[in-house]
Chains A and B, each alone.
Chain A
């Protein structure tokens, strides 16, 4: 799935050194570490936005930094930490934007794509909001809509930058459970950055801990070790 080899992640100066890392389908990975440690830079490198200082990142055997945007969009979907909503853009239309790559020149969708969007709206409990404008719903509902939009892209990899940062506890919990459920049921590789360690620990995600410029993979994170990874 995602394969990182001999990589130095950074922007002007090295931030994280990764010897070898292989991220599998059906699993959820949480990137943790102190502020400024390189969590967002790593996500941006996975998205092909920030080139590596050395090494390479492959998704499905293809180097992300040499792929065209339209091709990369078929392999990786991204959800930002906050979506403020757009005036006059309905939730259904917003989710349908995930099907941009497969829409016709006039923007029309095929029947199976429309059906997929309806299924996603139902799965994420967004059907009652489908005809509401995205700037008129709550932060939690908007974040779920953003996940639905990313899922509509139907990519094997889903990256999320602090998806729970602006949510209340109930919505944080719901979001975390949903991510695990999506990874297992849809066999996707989900990678997200987060500071919500307790919730991540409750949901059996695998941790990618950035500590002193190195990336460690932890199947479990012990409570007594948390401060160590934030030094």
Chain B
């Protein structure tokens, strides 16, 4: 794709992002006018209740959707290149499962670490790191793409089994807290927490940008990359850190959100037909944000008729996409 076409896509993507963000912020159980939205953003007045409500609920949810979508898509892209597997992603390879397990252990075992939200963030990050290291280790043995995929699923089943046992043993309050978290929602993040979320995503993004040229070489495989002078161990560790931060912190704040990290990077590669990772990083941020914004806008639009958890909705769209990719590969 030529540079002018890439710029064209970027402009279209940015316009779509602004449009989708506005639509997302305006849709909800109570109507908010466009003028109220503009005033709440550009002429914020703390004494006007509409401004406060818009800022604390609507704007916060929109910004969370942008951060979550960007973060998951970027982590998926990093994993797909690292594992040399288009089916890799934080959900498929069990990163979400690891985060869920640790959050489940924290919420249902009665352990208290710091504040409730801080504890969840820490547990999810730790879980994401542990499962990332586990999958990296497995990938050394399981070169076959499908085997690795199955291993990720088995890891997911294993963690589900432990979580089921924990759920049986835990009290109603803890069970409710975990169930709500595991459905995936963009509504739990406050404005104050948003800055922590944004900082973590920015850290992951900086790491990804620094690793961009290494990712370009990693598509050749580890041995050719090593022969071109890449320090494989260091590269793996840094990418792993970026993935764990991005996927872990998103799962911590929003709960597990399935398939975004798998579907969006494949979609961007399909559209831009490139292995230039600096371009792919930018486009995954954009398309990931768009994907989650659109999904959540539809959820909000149908919420009065049919309330659908975000995790279920992204699975409904993402699962057929995985099937499509598999069929394309096998053929």
**A89 on the interface (CB 8 Å rule)?**
yes
Kindly state the interface size class of chain B when it binds its partner. Answer: 20 to 34
Against B, the Cβ 8 Å flags (1 = close, 0 = not) of A44-76 are 000100000000000000000000011111101
CB contacts under 8 Å to B, within A92-133, are 93, 97-98, 100-101, 103-107, 133
Most chain A Cβ neighbours within 10 Å, of B210, B224, B275: B275
B278: which of A97, A100, A106, A153 is its contact (CB, 8 Å)? A106
Contact B228 A107 (CB under 8 A): no
Contact A93 B228 (CB under 8 A): no
B230: which of A47, A69, A93 is its contact (CB, 8 Å)? A69
Q: How far is the CA of A141 from the CA of B181 in the complex (A)?
A: 53
**B229 on the interface (CB 8 Å rule)?**
yes
**A137 on the interface (CB 8 Å rule)?**
no
Q: How far is the CA of A153 from the CA of B227 in the complex (A)?
A: 10
B274: which of A70, A88, A97, A101 is its contact (CB, 8 Å)? A88
CB contacts under 8 Å to A, within B215-271, are 216-217, 219-220, 223-224, 226-231, 269
Contact B229 A86 (CB under 8 A): no
Contacts of A207 in B (CB 8 A): none
Q: How far is the CA of A73 from the CA of B228 in the complex (A)?
A: 5
Q: How far is the CA of A105 from the CA of B231 in the complex (A)?
A: 15
Contact A105 B224 (CB under 8 A): no
Contact A101 B219 (CB under 8 A): no
Contact B219 A105 (CB under 8 A): no
**B273 on the interface (CB 8 Å rule)?**
yes
**B213 on the interface (CB 8 Å rule)?**
yes
Q: How far is the CA of A44 from the CA of B276 in the complex (A)?
A: 30
Contact A72 B213 (CB under 8 A): no
A70: which of B209, B210, B231, B275 is its contact (CB, 8 Å)? B231
**B184 on the interface (CB 8 Å rule)?**
no
B226: which of A69, A71, A98, A133 is its contact (CB, 8 Å)? A69
Contact A107 B216 (CB under 8 A): yes
**A192 on the interface (CB 8 Å rule)?**
no
Contact B275 A72 (CB under 8 A): no
Number of interface residues, chain A, beta carbon within 8 A: 27
Contact B275 A107 (CB under 8 A): no
Q: How far is the CA of A87 from the CA of B275 in the complex (A)?
A: 8
Q: Can you name the residue of chain B whose Cβ is closest to the Cβ of A73? A: B229
Contacts of A80 in B (CB 8 A): 223-224
Contact B228 A86 (CB under 8 A): no
Q: Can you name the residue of chain A whose Cβ is closest to the Cβ of B272? A: A88
**A78 on the interface (CB 8 Å rule)?**
yes
Contacts of B219 in A (CB 8 A): 86, 89
Contact A86 B220 (CB under 8 A): yes
**B127 on the interface (CB 8 Å rule)?**
no
CB contacts under 8 Å to A, within B188-231, are 209-210, 212-213, 216-217, 219-220, 223-224, 226-231
Contacts of A98 in B (CB 8 A): 228
B210: which of A89, A103, A105 is its contact (CB, 8 Å)? A105
Contact A88 B275 (CB under 8 A): yes
Most chain B Cβ neighbours within 10 Å, of A78, A100, A104: A100
Contacts of B274 in A (CB 8 A): 88, 93
A100: which of B210, B223, B229, B277 is its contact (CB, 8 Å)? B229
Given known contacts A70-B229, A88-B269, A93 and B276 CB-to-CB distance under 8 angstroms = yes
Q: Can you name the residue of chain B whose Cβ is closest to the Cβ of A101? A: B229
Contacts of B275 in A (CB 8 A): 86-89, 93
Contact B229 A107 (CB under 8 A): no
Contacts of A73 in B (CB 8 A): 227-229
Contact B212 A69 (CB under 8 A): no
Given known contacts A86-B219, A88-B273, A105 and B229 CB-to-CB distance under 8 angstroms = no
Q: Can you name the residue of chain B whose Cβ is closest to the Cβ of A84? A: B221
Contact B213 A101 (CB under 8 A): no
Q: Can you name the residue of chain B whose Cβ is closest to the Cβ of A89? A: B275
Against B, the Cβ 8 Å flags (1 = close, 0 = not) of A187-225 are 000000000000000000000000000000000000000
Q: How far is the CA of A105 from the CA of B219 in the complex (A)?
A: 18
A107: which of B213, B230, B231, B273 is its contact (CB, 8 Å)? B213
Contacts of A72 in B (CB 8 A): 229
Contacts of B231 in A (CB 8 A): 69-70
CB distance from A195 to the nearest CB of B (A): 22
Most chain B Cβ neighbours within 10 Å, of A70, A71, A93, A107: A107
Contacts of A87 in B (CB 8 A): 269, 275
Contact B224 A100 (CB under 8 A): no
Q: How far is the CA of A89 from the CA of B221 in the complex (A)?
A: 13
Contact A106 B209 (CB under 8 A): yes
Closest 4 CB pairs of A and B: A73-B229, A107-B213, A70-B229, A89-B275
Binding site for A on B (CB under 8 A): 209-210, 212-213, 216-217, 219-220, 223-224, 226-231, 269, 273-278
5 contacts between A and B (CB under 8 A): A47-B227, A86-B220, A106-B209, A106-B213, A107-B278
